[in-house]
């Protein structure tokens, strides 16, 4: 399907307006000696707009336009959330493999090899995410 210029502009406005307030990553390391599961979630410094949520009392005291501004500026952009998810993914992968080591399911040498590979692979992914498509991120992307 081909989008019109108006449709593309609308998609870009919506995409640029999305704010993400939480990133979740889960991993399981399966071995012949057992499975090791780790799940982490990270909440961004955000003002919650839902009733009774953290910061609800602050939002209730604002005017309508101020409420929207406070809510939208406190979350991550989709680009920032992708970087955050990559960082969190690395941490959860490292913890899962460490749990497998701690549980005796893998050897220290296997742990070392996996840890080095995880760090190398994620470092490359983070570098790509930060640099952007053209090799340099703009101020609003990072």
Q: Could you list the pLDDT tens digit for every one of the 142 residues in the chain?
A: 889 999 999 988 888 888 888 889 999 989 888 899 899 888 877 555 544 444 444 444 445 555 555 555 678 888 888 899 999 999 999 999 999 999 999 999 999 999 999 999 999 999 998 887 666 655 444 4
Residue 1 CB-density burial (10 A; 0-12 exposed, 13-18 middle, 19+ buried): exposed
* pLDDT of amino acid 26: 92
φ, ψ for residue 104 (rounded to 5)?
75, 15
Residue 125's pLDDT is what? Answer: 93
The count of other CB atoms within 10 Å of the CB of residue 58 is 12
What is the reported pTM?
0.66
HSE, side-chain direction, 13 A CA sphere, residue 139: 0
Q: Which residues contact 67 (CB under 8 A, 6 or more apart)?
A: 49, 59
Residue 58, CA atoms < 13 Å, CB-side half-sphere = 12
Residue 121 confidence (pLDDT): 96
pLDDT of residue 18: 80
């Amino acid at each position: 399907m081909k989008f019109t210029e108006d449709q593309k502009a609308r998609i870009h406005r919506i995409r640029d307006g999305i704010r993400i307030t939480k990133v979740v990553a889960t991993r399981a390391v399966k071995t012949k000696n057992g499975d090791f599961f780790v799940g982490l979630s990270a909440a961004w410094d955000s003002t919650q707009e839902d009733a009774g949520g953290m910061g609800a009392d602050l939002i209730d005291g604002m005017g309508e336009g101020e409420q929207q501004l406070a809510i939208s500026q406190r979350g991550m952009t989709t680009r920032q959330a992708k970087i955050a998810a990559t960082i969190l993914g690395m941490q959860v992968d490292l913890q899962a493999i460490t749990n497998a080591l701690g549980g005796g399911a893998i050897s220290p040498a296997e742990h070392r090899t996996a840890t080095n590979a995880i760090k190398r692979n994620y470092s490359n992914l983070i570098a790509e995410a930060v640099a952007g498509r053209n090799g340099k991120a703009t101020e609003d992307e990072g």
